[in-house]
Structure 1
Amino acid sequence: MEAGRLLPLVGVKRTSDPWVWEGVSLPLGMGNLRPIAYGGFAIATAVVAAGATLPEDVHLVPYSLVGHFLSPATLDSPFVCEVTSIRDTRQFSTRFVVVKQRTKTGTLRSVLSLTLDMIGSPSSTPQSLREHGAKNIDPASIASVVRYEPRTPWKIETPDQLPSLEQHLAQRIAAGELDESLVDAQKAFLGLWHELFEMRAVPSSMMDQNMLGLLDVPTSQDALPLQDRRSFDWMHIRAPLPPWDGSQGPAVCEALGMHPITPMVAHLATLAFAMDGAIAFAPLSFVKQSLFDAQVASTLEFALRFHTDALDVNQWLLREIIPVHAGWQRHYGEARVFDQAGHHLATCTQQCVMRPSDPDAMAEMQAPRPYGRTPKL
């Protein structure tokens, strides 16, 4: 299947070393006031490089992706991914990747280290899923001791109940809630994102109500303790990925000399690309500030954990962002991903650096959530 818009941006090609892969495109900037690459480019490119070295005789699915940003990535040099095989057993495969860029002097500078863990999953092969579906069996319950999953703290509208993002913003402008210049500024800040993903704004989302903290207005979550405040949005990849079941083969882009990307890796890399977004600056919106109040708001390290063995990123996905802790010029946040049926597909946690624009700033301790009653017999 011909690759769409995103995969050629994070695709790789072979080098003379079978464990070293080079990006076929330059990384692009997004979601940052500085002229540096969006972190999701390095993450997704590392995933694609790691995926190119995985064994093909076992049905493997991802369960963990952990990484550390080592330095900002520039916009003028493709990534070089050095892959190391940590383990290959009958049940597991682990790859460690160091992503680098060539400097103007020709040396390689590290920008990201990443570990991808895969596990064998015979219950999630396309044939097994078809058989389970015909018998109305939940494949996640097969040979599992327990089965449970979280849900959002309140009910969220489905994508078909919501207008497109363009319609939503136009309605707010017409109602006098937004100025067109503010909408234009947000589009410029996240322009590439909206080229890649179709979005649906969730009315109860705090980041939508105050436009990433740029709009000084009351929100429906102001009365909630900060840790109970939430951001929600629906996202959908605009250019379809190869079906995750492999029915249309890998993603290819011969014009760029890109190594074919298997469907599983294509869906994994796309979600990894998307989940790097927004967590780093979300706390600003939750406390009704904006990126202009922060000199730096960048991810230090992250963990993306998968809770499904049948990851389908061609469907609408709900992202929930949760603030957990902030202090010492850092914050820790979590984003959860759900499908339209309410199933919890993945969780991304990040620790981020956040330094104020005002060097004399002093953060006020936010009131914690009150204790509940101690359970008793």
Structure 2
Amino acid sequence: MTYKDLLDVVGVHEVGKGVYESTHNPENMGNAAYIAYGGCALATACTAAHIGVPDSHRIYSMTGNFLGPAQCDRKLIARVQEIRSTRTFTTKLVTISQKQNDGSERSCLVSLVDFHAVEKAELLNYSRPPSKTYAARETQPSLDEHRDGLVRDGKITADVSKMHSTIFGLSRKLWENRVCKGSMGAELLQGFAKDLTTEQDDLAMHEKSSADWFRSRVKLTARQEHAAAMAFQMDGAISFAPLMHSHRSLTDSAACSTLDFALRIFSNDLDMNQWHHREWKCIAAAVGRTYSEAQLWDEQGKLVAVMSQSCILRPPQPKL
């Protein structure tokens, strides 16, 4: 049974004390291999961590490691342990695994999820803006419209368009989206049109950026639905942003996947029903790893969240 909307992505049910199972199998997206998109495990972990947390507390941090790929033919299992529970903070340790054919379990992800009681007052309130000014969302096309335009202009073939549509189809099904003019990811179609030129080609890697807009296609209501949906979406494209920003595609590496992640949240009132603006930046690459981040703003320009990740990035194997 495949996802029909984000409520399916974030859904879990209890199967034991402190043990929860995803209502659907995870699905593939943005990976040349047929393995589950990492955001599926993040969403399941986030939802499970919220269960039993006091109404006065809000998620503010989700950090951890991907331990291995999840398969798309079986559900995710979340084992939750409460590490801290005070009037001010709640901390949950969540391990995501899948049952194997021999009955054993294989771990896919481990995460510490932290919650903070809503403060009565704040001393400071500020956040940095996106690194550049992008065209207004209302003037920008959806990803499908943008891709169709590249085909009409002869910049990509119909076969390339179909392949891109398949690999990134899950996100389009779950989220309304708009591309951003001047975004490297948009201009190069996430690396599927890597030979095109962009207005950022003369910039250093750490100065280049990609950006988009998105909002949920289905109405989300509960706090954990908004948080888990955001965690799902914020995982997207960070691992291969360095490939995009260097005019490469997923097929130009032997391995490109997230090792560890840190999601920081700066809002007590997440609302993924509203439009949000995301920007990717690449910070460092060395010793076979990259470090990149995605930042998220609401329509009022307030920074809502930042997801940073260390990722493995291996060159392709030499041809014999």
Please tell me the TM-score bracket, short chain as reference. Answer: over 0.9
Matched, 1:76 2:76: no
- Which stretch shifts more, 189-198 or 151-160? 151-160
Q: Does the 8 Å contact 2:7/2:218 carry over to 1?
A: no
Aligned to 2:135: 157
Aligned: 1:20 with 2:19: yes
**Structure number with larger C-alpha Rg:** 1
Partner residue of 2:90?
93
* Native 8 Å contact 1:5 1:239 kept in 2: yes
State which drifts further: 67-76 or 177-186. Answer: 177-186
Give a deviation string over 1:136-189, Cα, whole Å, max 9, x none: xxxxxx431x33210112212232121233332333322333322221111111
Letter in 2 for 1:30: M
Partner of 1:237: 216
Residues 171 and 347 (structure 1 numbering): CA distance in 2 closer, same or farther, change over 3 Å?
same
Q: 1:49: which partner in 2?
A: 48
Letter in 1 for 2:69: P
- Once residues 354 and 324 of structure 1 are traced to their aligned partners in structure 2, the CA distance between those partners, rounded to angstroms, is 14
**Which SS does the other structure have where 2:112 is aligned?**
strand
Cα distance in structure 2, aligned partners of 1:68 and 1:54: 23
Alpha-carbon RMSD across the aligned residues, in angstroms, is 1.6
Match of 1:36 in 2: 35
Q: How does 1:269-280 map to 2 (within 5 A)?
A: 269-280=228-239
Partners in 2 of 1:212 and 1:8 — Cα distance?
A: 26
Q: Is the 8 A contact 1:61 1:119 kept in 2?
A: yes
Secondary structure, counterpart of 1:48 in structure 2: helix
Query: Post-superposition shift, 1:122?
Result: 4.9
Q: What does 1:1-377 align with in structure 2 at a 5 Å threshold?
A: 5-15=5-15, 17-56=16-55, 59-123=56-120, 142-144=121-123, 146-215=124-193, 216-242=195-221, 263-359=222-318
> CA–CA distance in 1 between the matches of 2:188 and 2:143?
15
- On the 8 A contact 2:148/2:161 being kept in 1, the answer is no
Offset of residue 101 of structure 1? 0.8
CA contact (8 A) 1:339 1:345 kept: yes
In the TM superposition, what whole-angstrom CA distance separates every residue of 1:40-85 from its partner, at most 9, and x where no partner exists? 11111011111113234xx111110002111111112211111000
Q: Partner of 1:256 in structure 2?
A: none
CA contact (8 A) 1:62 1:118 kept: yes
Query: 1: distance between equivalents of 2:92 and 2:245?
Result: 36
Against the structure 1 CA distance between its residues 20 and 149, is the aligned structure 2 distance closer, same or farther, given a 3 Å change threshold?
A: same
Aligned amino acid, residue 115 of structure 2: M
In structure 2, do the counterparts of structure 1 residues 107 and 76 end up closer, same or farther at CA, with 3 Å as the change threshold?
A: same
Unmatched 5+ residue regions in structure 1?
Answer: 124-141, 243-262, 361-377
Offset, 1:7: 2.0
Query: How far 1:359 moved relative to its partner?
Result: 4.5
Q: Kindly provide the amino acid, as one letter, of the partner of residue 18 in structure 1.
A: K
Question: What is the distance in 2 between the residues matched to 1:28 and 1:204?
Answer: 30
Could you tell me which runs of 5 or more consecutive residues in structure 2 were left unpaired when the two chains were aligned. none
- Kept after mapping to 1: 8 A contact 2:26/2:36: yes
SS at match of 2:60: strand
Give, in angstroms, the shift of residue 4 of structure 1: 7.1
User: What secondary structure, in the 3-state scheme, does the structure 2 residue paired with 1:143 have?
Assistant: coil
Q: C-alpha offsets along residues 196-231 of structure 1, whole Å, 9 cap, x if unaligned?
A: 111111110011111222320111001111110000
| Range 174-183 or range 214-223, more displaced | 174-183
Q: Is the 8 A contact 2:48 2:80 kept in 1?
A: yes
AA in 2 matched with 1:28: E
Describe the shift of the 1:213–1:167 C-alpha distance in structure 2 as closer, same or farther (beyond 3 A). closer
Distance in 1 (alpha carbons) for counterparts of 2:318 and 2:59: 42
Cα distance in 2, alignment partners of residues 72 and 172 from structure 1: 33
Q: Once the two structures are aligned, what percentage of the paired residues are identical? A: 35
Higher share of residues assigned strand: 2
Deviation at 1:358, TM superposition (A): 3.0
**What is the total number of aligned residue pairs between the two structures?**
316
Deviation of residue 14 (structure 1)?
Answer: 1.4
2: distance between equivalents of 1:272 and 1:174? Answer: 35
